[in-house]
Chain A
Amino acid sequence: MKKTLPYLIVSPYLLHLALFVLFPVVFSIVLTFHKWNIIAPMEYVGWGNYWRLFNDRLFWKAILNTFQFLLVHIPLQIVIALALAYFLNQKLFARGFFRASFFMPVVISGVVVTILWQQLFGLETGLLNRLLINMGLGRVEWLSNPNLAIVSIAIMATWKNVGLYVILFLVGLQTVPKSYYEAAEVDGASSWQQFRYITFPAINPTFFMVVILSTLGGFSLFIEPYIMTDGGPLNSTLSAMLYIYKQAFGYYHMGYSATLGLFFAMLIMMVVAVQKYAIENDE
C-alpha cells in the first residue's frame, strides 16, 4: 500500500471540512468586525457590531424568550418521557404499538406539526378550545396572549419530540437487572426508595443526554415561530434563531448577523458546558 493512499481517501472530507467548516468559522470572526450587505464593499467598523449587540434590546428579548421556552420545554419533556417509559417498561399487550405511536411525531417534519398545531391552538374552532368548551371550561388564547404564546409553542415542541426521549429512557431503564428490585423488595425498600437508589442512578446518563439534546434543539427553535406567529404577539415568541434569520435575510446585515450568530453559538457552548459540569458533579 502506498503511503499517500490514506490521504487520497480522506481528501474529499478534508476539502469539504476546509470549505464548509474551517473557512466559515474564520470568516465569521472577520465578518463580526465589518458592516456588509454583500453587494457594497465591506466596511470596517471595529467593535461596532459588538456594541450594537449589547445594546440591542430586541436581541436580548429573543435570548430571554429562548430561555423561557427551554424552561418549560425541558422539565415537561423529562417528566412525560420518564413516565411513559416507566409505563412501557413492563410486560404489556401491544407494547410495540404504543412505542410506535409515541414516536410518530418525531419522524414527521416540523413544518407539518406546526401547521397542524396552529389549527389545534385556534381561538374559535381550534380542537383544543372546542375540547375545553365541551368540558365546560373557557377558551384559552394559546397564541394571541403574549404571556402564553411561547409556552404554547413549548407544549407543541414537547409533543413532537417526547417520543424520542421515551425510547432513550426505555433503553436506560432496561439496563437495570430485575434482581435489584427483588432484592430491594426483600429488604423492605419503598417504591420511592427503589426509584431514588436503583432506577435514578441507572438512568442518570440518559437524563444527561436528554437535557443536552433538548437544550440544543431548543436553541435552534426557528420554524415553529416562523410559521405560527412570526415572532409575535409583541415579540413574545421571537426566538434568537428567528431574530438572526431576520437580521441576515430580511435586512441583509451580514456583519451584524454573523456577530449575533457567533455570540449565540458561544452562549450555547457555555450553557451545555455548565449543564455537563452540573450533572457530572451531582453525586
Chain B
Amino acid sequence: MGVFKPYKFILYVLLGGAALSFLYPFYWMILASLTPEAQIGELGVAPKGITWDNYAQMAGKIPIWRSLFNSVIVAGLSTLGVLIFGSTTGYALAKLPFRGRNMLFFIIIFTMTLPFQITLIPNYILMVKFQWIDSLAALVVPALNSAFAILLFRQAFKSIPDDLIHSARVDGCGELRIIFQIIWPNIIPTIITVGILTFMNSWNDVLWPLIVIREEKLMTMPQLVTLFAVGGRAEAQLGVKLASAVVLALPIIIAYAIFQRHFIQSMASTGLKG
C-alpha cells in the first residue's frame, strides 16, 4: 500500500498491453473455433453461441486423432534416441580418452554451423533410395542424433568427478550402466533441457514431413493441419480451420502451462551456444 508512483503505473500499463497482445489472439482463436461460422466475423471478447460443430466437421474431413498419435510416436522416439545417443557420445567425448577425440569434437561443432539447406535434397534422395518414403523411419531415423544434444551432455559429464566413475568400474559396472544408472540421476537438468528441445523441434517440424510423407494416415499433426489449411478441404470455413489449429496447439499449451519454467530455461539455453 505505498504511495502512487506514476512511473510504475505506466510500466504496468505497457507490460499489461504487451501481455494482452500475446495472449488475446490465442484466446480469440479458441473462442472462434467454438463459434458458429456466421458469427466469427464479429467475434470480440464475449462468446457468441458456443458449438462443437467445427470440431465435428474437421474430425470428419481429416484423420486428426491418427495424426496426433503419429506425432506423439515420432516426437517420442526421436527424443528417446537423442537422449540415449547424445549421452553415450557425449560421455565418450568427456570421459573416455581415445585417438581422434578432438577431431570428432570439431566435426560435431562443424556440423552445427552447416545450414540444413545443403543436406535437405540429398537426404530426401536417400529416403527414396532406402524406400523410406511414407514410413515412420523417414521421420525418426534421421532425427536420432543431435550435435547440440551431444555438446550439452558432454558439458554435463565433464562436471562429474572422475572418482565416481572409477569407483563404479571397480565395483564392476559397465560403461552403459555408469552412464544411465550412476551419472544420469546427477544431470537431470540437462536431460530435461535436451528432452524438451528435441521433443519441441520434432513436434513443430513441418518441412521434412511435407517432403517424405504423402499418405494421409502417416502424416504428423502439423503437416496434416498445414495441408488442410492450404488444400481447400476446409472449404473456406474459418471455424473448421481454426479448430484444427487449436487441436495442434493444445497439447503444447497444456504442457507449457505446467512446465513453463523448464520450457523457458531450455529454449533460452539454445541461445547460449554461440
Contact = CB atoms under 8 A, between A and B. Distances in A.
Interface string B242-257: 1011101100110010
A238 B123 CA distance: 23
Contact of A230 (B98, B200, B230): B230
A120 interface: yes
A16 B78 CA distance: 13
B74 interface: no
Given A100-B264, A127-B28, A244-B117, A24 B123 contact: yes
Contact of A87 (B11, B114, B210, B246): B11
A104 B24 CA distance: 11
Given A5-B96, A27-B125, A104-B23, A20 B119 contact: yes
A111 B206 contact: yes
A71 interface: no
B185 interface: no
Interface string B216-244: 00000010011001100000001001101
Interface in B12-42: 12, 14-15, 18-19, 21-23, 25-26, 28-29, 32, 40-42
A265 B114 contact: yes
Interface in A44-100: 84, 87-88, 90, 92-93, 97-100
A202 interface: no
A127 B98 CA distance: 61
A196 B251 CA distance: 43
Contacts of A7: 98
Q: Which label, helix, strand, loop or mixed, suits the secondary structure of the A interface?
A: helix
A7 B271 CA distance: 31
Interface residues of A, number: 86
A25 B144 CA distance: 19
B15 A88 contact: yes
Contacts of A103: 260, 263-264, 267
A17 B118 contact: no
A195 interface: no
B122 A23 contact: yes
Interface string A117-161: 111100011010000000000000000000000000000000100
B207 interface: yes
B53 interface: no
B222 A109 contact: yes
Contacts of A222: 207
Contacts of A230: 230
Give chain B's interface residue range (CB within 8 Å of chain A): 35 or more
Interface stretch (A175-183, A184-192, A255-263): A255-263
Contact of A241 (B15, B25, B114, B117): B117
B268 A12 contact: no
A227 B142 contact: no
B70 interface: no
A97 B252 contact: no
B81 to A, nearest CB: 9
Interface string B91-117: 111001110010010010001011111
A98 B242 contact: no
A163 B22 contact: yes
Given A23-B126, A227-B226, A101 B113 contact: no
A268 to B, nearest CB: 5
Nearest to A272: B113
Nearest to A26: B122
A262 B118 CA distance: 5
Max count, chain B CB within 10 A of own CB: residue among A84, A116, A249: A116
Contact of B248 (A12, A112, A209, A248): A112
Interface of A: 1, 3, 5-7, 9-10, 12-13, 16-17, 19-21, 23-25, 27-28, 31, 38, 84, 87-88, 90, 92-93, 97-112, 115-120, 124-125, 127, 159, 163-164, 167-168, 171, 206, 208-210, 212-213, 216, 219-220, 222-223, 226-227, 230, 241, 244-245, 248-249, 254, 257-258, 261-262, 264-265, 268-269
Interface of B: 11-12, 14-15, 18-19, 21-23, 25-26, 28-29, 32, 40-42, 85, 88-89, 91-93, 96-98, 101, 104, 107, 111, 113-126, 128, 142, 144-145, 150, 169, 175, 200, 203-204, 206-207, 210-211, 222, 225-226, 229-230, 238, 241-242, 244-246, 248-249, 252-253, 256, 260, 263-264, 267-268, 270-272, 274
7 contacts: A16-B144, A93-B12, A103-B264, A104-B23, A107-B263, A230-B230, A254-B125
